[in-house]
Structure 1
Amino acid sequence: MPGVAAEGVGHAGADRFEQWREALGRSRAVEMTSDHAATFTATVRQAQMGPVVAVGTAFPSLHVKRTDPMIRRCDEELYHVTMLTAGRGIASGSGSAQPFSAGQVHLVTSSEPYESRFWGTPDGGQKPPAVEGIGLDLPVSLLPVPSHRVRRLVGRALPAEQGVGAILAAFLLSLDRQMSALRPVDAARLGTVAVDLLATFLTRELDDKDVLPQETRLRTMLHEVRAFVCQHLHDPELTPSTIAAAHHVSLSYLHRNFTHESQGTTLAAFIRRQRLQKAYHDLMDPNLRALPIHVIAARCGIAQAPTFTRAFKAAYGISPSDHRHEATTQRSQPDDPRE
């Protein structure tokens, strides 16, 4: 795929399964068949993030198989990580089979044989059942966890509802939505974030976090801190001290490393910016029009209205009330008939 821009491929019709299979086959040597091959409708989106490839896809059904002869012919030495967002599947490997469903993470490696089946599940609407998911392909050597330890997790359905799993899931979903908008430099950095989150997630599943290098643990902790801030903006007690306590590190350690990794932005400044950005968007939301501005500010963790007004105007060059008025005026204007 050219550069690091996302590539989207849409297919439909009896002659399109081969094209879709070829698109996916760029990153994996496997057999692929489908019960819906004659009427296949599918999409695949791919983006290069340094040595990591993000893959988002949707299809009606699929049977994937990698065999020992394929491995002997060529082993790309890759991990394939998939999180289903719709549908269900069952994976076989090492003499066992395990079902998995939407919200779970599934890991296989090109160095071991595996067999996976996927089916769409009806959603009660007009759309036909479909399997949807977002995943990562990455070199085995890139993951800072010994492969013999990771092997214990291959083929298993790994839950991603809480903790680092939930952060990894949210990251993958956001990545899928923003894939086409990534700049090359951003994509490469996100590849590093993806590897760090995945490594931490897997080591938590192994209950062996000490296996990670210190640098990886630090980057993951800072990512967790940023996610923690965004989840608790409403709390007026959200401060660097409470965040340090919640993550079991000293305030000086958190401040020093956060400022370094954020190119000079302190944690307090990051909290303030996130609160103001939330308020900025909430004031534009027509569904929140009835809420007074001071309530919007309080929902963003800023209890004092004068403090909020001064900070907002300093950040955006406009008062909160004028910003809301402009947003309302723009929504009420009719479309230009010349457009």
Structure 2
Amino acid sequence: MIETVFRTEGVPAAERFGYWRECMTRLLCPMDMSSDDDSTFRAETRLLQLGALSIWPGAMQQSMRCRRTPRLIRQSDPENYHLSLPMNGSMAVSQAGREAVHGADEMYVVDTSQPYECRVFDGPLRGVGLEVPKSLVPLPVHTVGRLLTRRMRAQEGVGALLGGFLARLAEDSAAYKPADEQRLETVLIDLFTATLAHHLDADDDLPPETRHRTLPLRIRTFIQHHLHDPGLTPGAIAAAHHISTSYLHALFRNQDRTVSAWIRHQRLEHARRDLADRAHYTAPVHRIAARWGFTHHAVFTRAFTAAYGLSPRDYRHQVHAASSSDPGPTKPRSLGTAL
């Protein structure tokens, strides 16, 4: 993954905003940009090139306004969808006769082929941008047009998968090898497309191969949202996704765990985190177990002890005793979280 860093630090103060405007206009698309704080403007971003996709983790401290006009579109158009994911701060955007203000974890999309305007309010602002060529998105342009500027939550449903994937790529880009690039590009395109389709209620418009690749991700998100339900069984999961139970098991066949084992592992991990959380220190162990779908305390105790080598009570005591004398609490062996 090719990474390039752009920052105003080190540029003379009087030239900082001009430098930033030149970089963004050259690398994204031609835009009119201005700032009320151009003499004190501070910003930085990293461009991560993932095949045909561009990922932009960045931050800025002052306000900024950018406009993409018909004249600039005629001048140059990369024909991209640009997704913005603020992680803190807020942004206002208008396009296609609609306008909205988006805060932390509220993604939105604009189309570089249509005029738009974005405003960053007084900082700080931190977030991630994603540029995807429209030719790689298997949804009609006029259909995606209904979604421009609309709020898409990055903490629930398919949007959480996309937001989490972008955040992880931004935080840990050095962990990936060149051989991973094509696979990561495919996953990111599928997540982006599935997020658009979800908000458009247009799953039927997705090609079969995209639906097939995103189905396991949607199933895992469904499981995470229903861990508290004792009735979360393979049969219930299959029915909720309109597939057979045998097909559900087939989706997990190449993974380290069966679907039932993965549900149990996720429940144990959430219970373990609650037991280690001082905010839940006074909550009875059986209530924490029930919160994560364990209806029988004895079954929970046996499963927890087998997984972590300590009973739930002993684990809680060990973690909190260690944290009271050492800022780095002792952790038991972990089963990991990857499927």
Shorter-chain TM-score: what band? 0.7 to 0.9
Does residue 242 (structure 1) correspond to residue 260 (structure 2)? The answer is no
Equivalent in the alignment of 1:201 = 195
Equivalent in the alignment of 1:33 = 34
Pick from 280, 283, 300 the counterpart of residue 292 of structure 2.
300
- CA distance in 2 between counterparts of 1:243 and 1:306 reads 25
TM-score by length of 2: 0.78
Does residue 184 (structure 1) correspond to residue 186 (structure 2)? The answer is no
Residues 87-236 of structure 1 correspond to what in structure 2 (within 5 A)? Answer: 87-93=90-96, 96=97, 98-102=99-103, 104-110=106-112, 112-120=113-121, 129-147=123-141, 149-150=143-144, 152-153=145-146, 156-161=148-153, 166-175=156-165, 177-178=167-168, 179-182=170-173, 183-184=175-176, 189=183, 191-236=185-230
- CA distance in 2 between counterparts of 1:335 and 1:300 reads 28
Q: Which amino acid aligns with 1:35?
A: D
Pick from 316, 319, 335 the counterpart of residue 311 of structure 2.
319
Q: Secondary structure at the match of 2:43?
A: strand
Query: CA 1:153 to 1:135, structure 2 compared with 1: closer, same or farther past 3 Å?
Result: farther
- CA distance in 2 between counterparts of 1:206 and 1:289 reads 43
Q: Which amino acid aligns with 1:153?
A: R
Residues 238-317 of structure 1 correspond to what in structure 2 (within 5 A)? Answer: 238-260=232-254, 263-317=255-309
Query: CA 1:180 to 1:84, structure 2 compared with 1: closer, same or farther past 3 Å?
Result: closer
Q: Secondary structure at the match of 2:132?
A: strand
- CA distance in 2 between counterparts of 1:218 and 1:136 reads 23
Q: 1:118·1:131 contact (CA, 8 Å) conserved in 2?
A: no
- CA distance in 2 between counterparts of 1:251 and 1:321 reads 36
Using the TM superposition, give the Cα deviation of residue 316 of structure 1 relative to its aligned residue in structure 2, in angstroms. Answer: 2.3
- CA distance in 2 between counterparts of 1:21 and 1:177 reads 25
- CA distance in 1 between counterparts of 2:108 and 2:264 reads 37
Query: CA 1:101 to 1:335, structure 2 compared with 1: closer, same or farther past 3 Å?
Result: closer
Q: Which amino acid aligns with 2:315?
A: H
Q: Secondary structure at the match of 1:37?
A: coil
- CA distance in 2 between counterparts of 1:308 and 1:205 reads 38
Q: 2:90·2:101 contact (CA, 8 Å) conserved in 1?
A: no
Number of residue pairs the alignment of both structures matches: 318
Q: 1:71·1:113 contact (CA, 8 Å) conserved in 2?
A: yes
- CA distance in 1 between counterparts of 2:49 and 2:299 reads 44
| Higher RCO structure (Cα 8 Å, ≥6 apart) | 1
Query: CA 1:202 to 1:169, structure 2 compared with 1: closer, same or farther past 3 Å?
Result: closer
TM-score by length of 1: 0.78
- CA distance in 2 between counterparts of 1:256 and 1:26 reads 47
Question: CA offsets, 1:226-275, max 9 Å, x none?
Answer: 11211221222111111122222222222222434xx3532111101111
Q: 1:293·1:321 contact (CA, 8 Å) conserved in 2?
A: yes
Q: 2:219·2:237 contact (CA, 8 Å) conserved in 1?
A: yes
Does residue 62 (structure 1) correspond to residue 64 (structure 2)? The answer is yes
What percentage of residue pairs aligned between the two structures are identical? Answer: 36
Q: Which amino acid aligns with 1:141?
A: S
Using the TM superposition, give the Cα deviation of residue 331 of structure 1 relative to its aligned residue in structure 2, in angstroms. Answer: 0.7
**Residue ranges of structure 1 left out of the alignment (5+ in a row):** 121-127
Q: 1:5·1:180 contact (CA, 8 Å) conserved in 2?
A: no
Question: CA offsets, 1:11-59, max 9 Å, x none?
Answer: 5955432444455446412222222222223343544445433323444
Q: Secondary structure at the match of 1:283?
A: helix
